[in-house]
Amino acid sequence: MTQEQLDLTNQLFNAVYGVADSLGSEASDVAQLILTKNKTLASCKDYFPEGFTFEDLTEDAFKKTSRDADSLNNLLNLMTEGEKTFGVFRVDKNSWWLCVFWNSETKIGSNVLIRANRVET
């Protein structure tokens, strides 16, 4: 990994925690950035517990799910030069993982899965 790729990855990690904080998750495992060779968000199901189902989201729906537009925009602005897809891995109406998948293999040498856990009580 080049220094530029490492710097971008670190910026992504920092932005992920900003988004997770805005979600107000009560889970101990709030947010993660996963570097993956998977090619699509739907193919990342192995990163989620059994029983979770995948639902596509539009970018607008993804943005509405987060309460903090600044941290979300910061995250999305870092993701350039590659397709982004959005979705939810859901177990029920109160618990889900909000996800963005960035096809960034040419940019940083790996694709990126960002997931933030959301539990509403």
- Homologous superfamily of 3-119: Nuclease A inhibitor-like (3.40.1460.10)
pTM above 0.75, yes or no: yes
Instruction: With CA atoms as reference, report the closest residue to 120 among 11, 20, 3, 27.
Output: 27
First-to-last alpha carbon distance for the chain, in angstroms, is: 41
Contact between 91 and 51 under an 8 Å Cβ cutoff? The reply is yes
* pLDDT tens string 21-78: 666 555 556 778 899 999 999 999 899 888 889 999 998 888 776 665 577 778 888 8
Q: Where are the alpha helices (H) located in 1-121, listed in sequence order?
A: 3-23, 59-65, 69-78, 105-108
What are the structural domain ranges in the chain? 3-119
Q: Using the 8-state DSSP alphabet, how is residue 9 labeled?
A: H
